[in-house]
Chain A
């Protein structure tokens, strides 16, 4: 079966760095996505990786290792507004997104 695993909840301090991990087993691979979802709102796109390595976008970076079925989202200089759920999703061989349950990130002052 297809499976995406990520931690349920993480806590970090304002100004710090946090790494959210995602491991996956899917039927085929056409890229891995990270989305941010604030409570009561829609998911919004953060990043996309299809090749191994690190993609950097401002305070956010995403890493992919296809051989290990592993990705992480790195958030630097955490701000209170980064408190949200972070969703990992893999596009399978049918170009459908398989979603993890999300990681709720709590930022403390």
Chain B
């Protein structure tokens, strides 16, 4: 693989269910991010990780959790999904936290919570 992969591509989920969105990168980037994108709104940061073993909260962290056990993987978990979490979720990475070059994005996961 090359770049960032996300799974699943799309998912329909019943409210109250637990769901983990997967994200894997093979660029050996230190920093990883989870965003949600909703119509009419900009990308909003959910959680981020500056390096393996550390995580931080973004703008909209409530209802989500993340872990960063190694450099490559950064899963996002919805402990008990609610309809307002219906969105498109993008995982991204950059070489360093202070890397002002670019963030690279995965293809996204389209999640519908009913």
Contacts and interface: CB of A to CB of B under 8 A. Distances in A.
- The finding on whether chains A and B are genuine partners in a shared complex, rather than unrelated, reads yes
B45 A42 contact: no
A2 to B, nearest CB: 9
A9 B44 CA distance: 20
Contacts of B53: none
B84 interface: no
A101 B98 contact: no
A31 B100 CA distance: 7
B90 A91 contact: no
B43 A33 contact: no
A44 B42 contact: no
Interface residues of B, number: 20
B74 interface: no
Contacts of A95: 97-98, 100
Nearest to B42: A99
Nearest to A33: B102
A42 B102 contact: no
B61 interface: no
Interface string A78-100: 00000000010101000111111
A101 B100 contact: no
A96 B103 CA distance: 11
Given A42-B107, A95-B97, A101 B102 contact: no
Interface string A42-53: 111100101000
Contacts of B97: 95
Contacts of B16: none
A101 B42 contact: yes
B62 interface: no
B102 A45 contact: yes
Contacts of B42: 4, 87, 89, 98-102
A61 interface: no
15 contacts: A42-B105, A42-B107, A45-B102, A48-B102, A89-B42, A89-B43, A91-B100, A95-B97, A95-B98, A95-B100, A97-B43, A97-B45, A98-B42, A100-B42, A101-B40
